[in-house]
Amino acid sequence: MTRPFSFSAGPATLPLPVLDRAKDDMFDWRGTGVSVMEISHRHAAVAALFEQVERDLRTLLAVPADYRILLTQAPPTALAAIIPMNLAAPDDVADFVHTGAWSGRFYTEAQKYLRPHLAVSSEYTGFTDIPPQSSWELTPFARYVHLCTNETIHGVEFFFTPETNGIPLVADMSSHLLSRVPDVARYGAIIAGAQKNMGIAGVSVVIVQEALLGKAQVTCPSVFDWRKLADASSLLNTPPVHAVYIASLVLEWIKAEGGVDEMERRAIAKSAHLYRCIDASALYINHVRPHCRSRMNVPFFLSDPSLTQTFLSGAERHGLLGLAGHRSLGGIRASLYNAMPMAGIEKLVEYMREFERSA
Ligand SMILES: Cc1ncc(COP(=O)(O)O)c(C=O)c1O
């Protein structure tokens, strides 16, 4: 049986060796005689699993020693509230860099927990550009500056780290974590859901500077208080053990494939192949400015929108799944996460060329 390629934005495709290994482990994980889903989170093997995930993330992302790596059940949508609750008081100001749907949602949610200030918005471009930092209006006394370094819906990615002159930068890296090595020391906190490049939904990673811990608002639920979570080595309450286990397999796979630099090399090659096809065609259009085109999420439109549904149905018949654009934008979106092999993009490009010829 030939497996289809899933271009879904998340939950997303997983590396085949990860699925194979999970299948093998299903009935007897690490000699325990049971699956990882049937064991107490207080078992030594589970503590070892959490330590291993933290160690691998630290190595793969070159996380400095004064940063804590937390695994939390809070999805990024909840982190939109949990970040301000952990880092600021209700009267504090935090700056928001609005470059697409996700940074916008975090800005809106933060209004319940602090005084958010919109430092810049690229809404006037239809979220197709990242305005230069010289045009941002940063607040000198802001508690932190929030941005989304890869906008999954609009396909806009940051390829520079903004300068915030000592004010902690907080980045939602949900959809491109592990596709390149960020300069962690330039961020106060980095958050990401696992379901794109690190496994399945159910767990998120928070990488946070130790010095920022211990300031949670009194109303912050204890399980989401990062100080408490750090003190308990992410085992404060019943954690999403299975999602953490899958993350451990994905991290092992990344190491075996050559690490995050290799993931970046592949991401450049894969996305370039698709953007070349789009740019050479009269039918497909990507509106994002070349300097900030995402390597992970490529939204595009057909110049004749009435062909979109035919394109998608044909793609499914060719084993190319999950290509419908986000419901807010329509069109097409191809997500090219680490686990998507070049063969998937080649097949997609071949299909796109064939579809254009016959359109
Ligand atoms: C960049 C980004 N942030 C936040 C989220 C929200 O994640 P969740 O639906 O797991 O809360 C997503 C989901 O796709 C995302 O892509």
Tokens at 208, concatenated: 């946070």
Number of structural domains found in the chain = 2
The residues annotated as belonging to the active site are 102, 172, 196
> Which residues contact residue 247 at a Cβ distance below 8 angstroms, ignoring those fewer than 6 apart?
53, 71, 194, 198, 199, 203, 205
Residue 351 lies in a domain: yes
- Residues 269 and 220 placed together within one structural domain of the fold: no
Q: Which of 217, 234, 256 is the last residue of a domain?
A: 256
- Rounded CA separation 22/297 (Å): 27
Sort 117 into a burial class: Cβ within 10 Å, 0-12 / 13-18 / 19+: middle
Average pLDDT over residues 128-143: 97
177 within ligand 1 shell (Cβ under 6 A): no
Q: Could you tell me the distance, in angstroms and rounded to a whole number, from the CA of residue 51 to the centre of ligand 1?
A: 25
Instruction: For residues 244 and 267, state if they share a domain.
Output: no
Q: Are residues 108 and 128 in the same domain?
A: yes
> In the block, which residue shows the tokens 């291993």?
52
Domain boundary among 206, 235, 256: 256
> How many residues comprise the chain?
359
320 is in which domain, residue-wise? 259-358
Q: Is the backbone peptide bond immediately before 162 cis, with ω within 30 degrees of 0?
A: no
Query: Which of 232, 256, 280 delimits the end of a domain?
Result: 256
Same domain, 268 and 252: no
Helix axes 241-257 and 16-25, enclosed angle (nearest 10): 130
* One domain, residues 341 and 210: no
| 241 & 315 share domain | no
Q: What is the CATH number of the domain that holds 274?
A: 3.90.1150.10
Per-residue pLDDT of 35-94, as tens digits, reads: 999 999 999 999 999 999 999 999 999 999 999 999 999 999 999 999 999 999 999 999
Indicate if 166 and 305 belong to the same structural domain.
no
10 lines ligand 1 (CB under 6 A): yes
- Are residues 184 and 294 both part of a single domain? no
User: What is each CA distance from 285 to 125, 276, 280, in whole angstroms?
Assistant: 15, 11, 10
Is 125 buried (19+), middle (13-18) or exposed (0-12) by CB count in 10 A?
middle
Do 250 and 270 belong together in one domain? no
252 and 268 part of one domain:
no
User: What stretches of 27-135 adopt beta strand conformation (E)?
Assistant: 67-72, 93-98, 115-121
Verify whether ligand 1 is closer than 6 Å to residue 99 (CB atom): no
Same domain, residue pair 166 and 39:
yes
Structure confidence by residue, pLDDT tens digits, 158-198? 999 999 999 999 999 999 999 999 999 999 999 999 999 99
Is the Cβ atom of 101 under 6 angstroms away from ligand 1?
A: no
Ligand 1 pocket residue status of 355, Cβ below 6 Å: no
Give domain status of residue 99, yes or no.
yes
Asked whether residue 139 carries a pLDDT value surpassing 90, the answer given is yes
Substitution candidate for ligand 1 out of 174, 178, 190, 294 with most atoms within 8 A of CB: 174
Record the tokens describing residue 285, joined without a space: 């259009």
Residue type, 323: L
Global pTM value: 0.98
- pLDDT at site 1: 63
Same domain, 107 and 217: yes
Task: Indicate whether 2 belongs to any domain.
Answer: no
- pLDDT range class, residue 104, cuts 50, 70, 90: very high
Distance between Cα 287 and ligand 1 center (Å): 22
Average pLDDT over residues 332-357: 98
